[in-house]
Amino acid sequence: MLKKILKWTGIIVLLLIIVITIYVSSRQTRTYEAPFPQVHISDDSTILAKGEYLVYGPAHCADCHGDQSKLDIINEGGKVPLIGGYTFKIPPGEFNVPNITPDPETGIGNVPDSVLARSLRYGVRRDGTVLFDFMPFHNTSDEDLSAILSYIRHSEPVKHEVPPTQLNVLGKVVNAFMIEPVGPSGDVPESITADTSVEYGKYLAHSVANCAGCHTKRDLMTGAFIGEYFAGGFQMESIVEPTKYACITPNLTPDPETGVMAEWSEETFINRFKAGKRIKHSAMAWGPFKRMSDNDLKAIYRYLKTVKPVKNKVEKTLIALEG
């Protein structure tokens, strides 16, 4: 009798696993509707210059999409082809950064401008499936998005095949039930004035440079924000020795006891960015940020001085991993 019960229990469990596997697989190709942003690709030299500045500066596209064989150049703020290839190894799987040069075979040469803009703003691919939320451009202005895409369209096409992203079993479950497209948090501006104001600093910190994305604790499985904005404490594996070291992002709030902004002057803040990368393990885009203008850095500094102070002591920014 016991053998019979165990037999049927095993059959039922196996059937459940098969049904769940089929259901999870069927949800990998869920599609979503999203509007196409009004981007306008231009060959105007002023717009292309602005796009180049954003791509290799505040938007730090080269940090992930840049040729990883030229990492030293990237870390010094140099320009490299945006051929992709960097791999994010996180709990859901291995995410391979694509080639975004205009090569028609291995890059974005055959992807319509409207599709690229929709992917950046709404997290929806060409086929309507969802993108994991790695990039912060949901609220980037139409003007800046147009400049970025205009520059990329006019860059040199480079043939470089990047293998597709590989989700593991857990990643497929997450993708099936927990990941939804992330769109704008409000009305997206057509343009925004670049100055040294708190308002522009907020725009840069959230919608271009993505300071919030790393200096806020996040769920590595879904990418969801789970901590106070800019309070730090987010652990990121070393970009050179990911099995041995990790960096903990510092608290950027103006908390007088635990926040770095409480003791930094505007001049200190700017000088730190101009100094570039000091910890080789850091995942922060020090090279591209080194290219940022003093005015942009002033705007970010002035905004960070206004955010909610959060008491969160980050003892060390570099830690050795056990094992």
| Mean pLDDT, the chain cut into blocks of 10 residues (323 residues total) | 68 78 85 90 97 97 94 93 91 93 96 95 93 91 97 97 93 89 92 97 97 93 90 92 92 96 95 94 95 98 97 94 75
The answer to whether 79 touches 62, Cβ cutoff 8 Å, is: yes
Which amino acid, residue 162? Answer: V
The answer to whether 285 touches 60, Cβ cutoff 8 Å, is: yes
Which is it for the CA torsion 40, 44, 47, 52, positive or negative? positive
List the structure tokens of 36: 């196409």
Q: Cα(133)–Cα(118) distance, rounded to whole angstroms? A: 13
Q: Cα(277)–Cα(307) distance, rounded to whole angstroms? A: 25
* pLDDT computed for residue 157 by the predictor: 97
Q: What is the dihedral of CA 121, 125, 129, 133, to 10 degrees?
A: -50
Half-sphere exposure of 276 (CA within 13 A, CB side): 11
Indicate the domain borders of the chain: 35-189, 192-323
